[in-house]
Amino acid sequence: MTRNRALEILGAEPDAGLRDLKKNYRDLMRKTHPDSAREHDYPYEAHEINEAYNCLLSHLYDDDGPDDGQSSPKIRWDAPVNANAYCTRPIYQYAEDANGSVIGTMTVDDGKYMWMEDEDFPLFLKSLYDTARSVISDDDAAKDISRSDDDDLLKDITYLIAGQFFGSDSALGLMRPEADGSYHSRVMVELSGPPPQEGEALFPLRLADHRLYVRDGSGNELGYMTFCDDRLLFGIIPLFERNAVKVRITAGKTKRRSADADLWIIPTHEDNVTVIESINENIRRRLDR
């Protein structure tokens, strides 16, 4: 299928970005898929729409050059770019069959792109993981060593790279802004100590293995904090690691091995370039350890 034919089937303009293509695709699949519509008046069927969408994901050019099948495809990804990031990362999208079932993933671009909601978060995590493996492999090749089975190194590099592509701004956008300038989120404390009383104030105690451990007012370690939305891990915990946040935590109801809690944070001002350079240095130090 040619690009022009795919654009016609999807009802898209030649300069359409991925966001517009996804919207057209989903609207047309709802309209034409046999599971949702027995009859429709669109001139193309669901399997043709799906084929056109997958074609455009693989051959959406930045320019209007000839669609001769020989040029290298360049996919437009509309996310902001972190120009100072340590490395690039792949952008993945799901490939689907004629019935809309996921049959795999495809790489639609590669660059220093920040995460945005158009990128499915499980695929974002896969991108981070694959990028970390590539960074370690390249460093191993330069040093003539092999650390392919070092799970701790892979975990640390993945976490550090995540901080370059999912920053505190992304995390704060997932929290509820309050009138006093703070941001609120429900969290949980995985208990390893005495359960707190509902309404009791909790306090940061220490950071270990990218986890924030909290204590009660008497100094007793209670356990570590987890987020109801896993995405917050990559944006909030680094603020604590950089001492770049003010915090208030109030305990909620206690369950068998965990306690609900409310978290309010106010991030302090940081220079983004300095933060990224610091992460880059931490990546280099971790690779040299």
Is the whole-model pTM more than 0.75? Answer: no
**Closest alpha carbon to 130 in 160, 90, 103:** 90
Query: What number is the average pLDDT over the span 53-78?
Result: 57
Is 183:175 a contact under the CB 8 Å cutoff? yes
Measured between alpha carbons, how far is 149 from 81 in angstroms, rounded to an integer? 31
Separation of alpha carbons 199 and 163, rounded Å:
32
Residue tagged 């270990």 (tokens)? 208
- The one-letter code for the residue type at 222 is L
The closest alpha carbon to 49, from 31, 68, 73, belongs to 31
Per cent of the chain over pLDDT 90 is 54
pLDDT at residue 130 is higher than 90: yes
pLDDT of residue 75: 45
Dump pLDDT digits (tens) for 141-181: 999 999 999 999 999 999 999 999 998 888 999 999 999 99
Question: For position 100, what pLDDT does the model report?
Answer: 66
Burial group, residue 34, by CB count within 10 angstroms (0-12, 13-18, 19+): exposed
Parallel, antiparallel or unpaired: strands 102-111 and 183-191: unpaired
CA distance 78 to 59: 16
Domains, the chain, in order of start with CATH, read: 1-74 (1.10.287.110), 77-166 (no CATH), 171-267 (3.30.70.2330)
- The answer on pLDDT for 65 being more than 70 is no
- Determine the pLDDT at residue 99: 64
Structure tokens at 271: 């220079």
